[in-house]
Structure 1
C-alpha cells in the first residue's frame, strides 16, 4: 500500500531586475545634494554610448518643468506641474518606509546618444534606468 502526497511548487512570484552599479548610485546621490552640481559622464547602454552631464534628480526635475512650461495649448498649465505631481505621488507611496533608498534613475543634461558609430542624437535632457547602464566613465569622448 502506498500513500501519495500531493506537493505543490512555491507559487510566489519573484521580481528580479539587474543590479545597478553601487558607485554610480552613490555618485548620483551625492549630486542630488546640490542643485547646480553636474559632472561630465559617458555611459555604455545596450543601444550605444551616451555622454553628457550627469545631474541630480532635483536639477533634472527643474529643467524638465522649465521645458514643459514652453509647451503651448490648453493643457500647458497642467503639464508644467507634472514633475512635482509625480514626485508627490512617489513620496506618498514611500511614506512609512523610513529608509532612504539609493537612486534607481540617472539624469543627463546636454546628452548625445551614439548608435553603433553610425549616427547620433542630441538630447537636452535624458532620464534612464540605472540598471540598464552596463558601464560608465567620468568625462566625455574627445
Structure 2
C-alpha cells in the first residue's frame, strides 16, 4: 500500500516550496529602506550564474515603470501604470496581515547571466524568485 492511500480523503493538500536564504532575505529588506542603494552580487540560479547590482523592490519598480513608459503603440499608457497597479493589488491582499513579510523576490539592475557554452546574456533589469537562488556572494566575478 502506498503512503497516499493512508491520507484521509478530506485532508488538505500541502503546498511546499524551497525556503529562501534568510540572510539574503534580510539583506534585501535592508536595501528596500533606501531606494538608491544597491550592492554588487553574484547568484547561482537554475539557468547558470547571474551577477549584477541587487536593488530593492521600490528601485526595481521605478526602473521597470520607466522602461515601460518607453514602450510604443496602443495601450502603452496602460502598461506604464502596471507596476503601481500590481503593488496596489498586493497591498490590498495583505491588508489584513499584521507583520510585514520577508521578501520573496530578488531584483538586479545591469545583470549578466552566464550560461554554460553560450555568450553571456545582458539584462538591464532582472527579477527572480528568491527561493530559486541556491547560492550567492557579494561582488561580481573578475
TM-score interval for Structure 1 and Structure 2 normalised by the shorter chain:
over 0.9
Distance in 2 (CA, whole Å) between partners of 1:79 and 1:105 is 21
Deviation at 1:9, TM superposition (A): 2.0
The aligned counterpart of 1:58 is: 58
Distance in 2 (CA, whole Å) between partners of 1:42 and 1:65 is 25
Q: Secondary structure at the match of 1:95?
A: coil
The aligned counterpart of 1:20 is: 20
Q: Secondary structure at the match of 1:71?
A: coil
Residues matched between the structures, number: 136
Distance in 2 (CA, whole Å) between partners of 1:116 and 1:101 is 35
Q: Secondary structure at the match of 1:119?
A: coil
Deviation at 1:119, TM superposition (A): 2.1
Question: What TM-score do the two structures reach when normalised by structure 1?
Answer: 0.93
Q: Secondary structure at the match of 1:102?
A: coil
Q: Deviations over 1:87-120 (max 9, x none)?
A: 0000000111111100000000000000025321
Distance in 1 (CA, whole Å) between partners of 2:21 and 2:13 is 25
Q: Point out 4+ residue stretches in structure 1 off by more than 4 angstroms.
A: none
Question: What TM-score do the two structures reach when normalised by structure 2?
Answer: 0.93
Q: Secondary structure at the match of 2:28?
A: helix
Unpaired runs of at least 5, structure 1: 1-6
Distance in 2 (CA, whole Å) between partners of 1:37 and 1:47 is 26
Distance in 1 (CA, whole Å) between partners of 2:38 and 2:63 is 13
Q: Following superposition of structure 1 onto structure 2, how do residues 23-62 of structure 1 map, counting pairs within 5 Å?
A: 23-62=23-62
Q: Following superposition of structure 1 onto structure 2, how do residues 1-142 of structure 1 map, counting pairs within 5 Å?
A: 9-10=7-8, 11-142=11-142
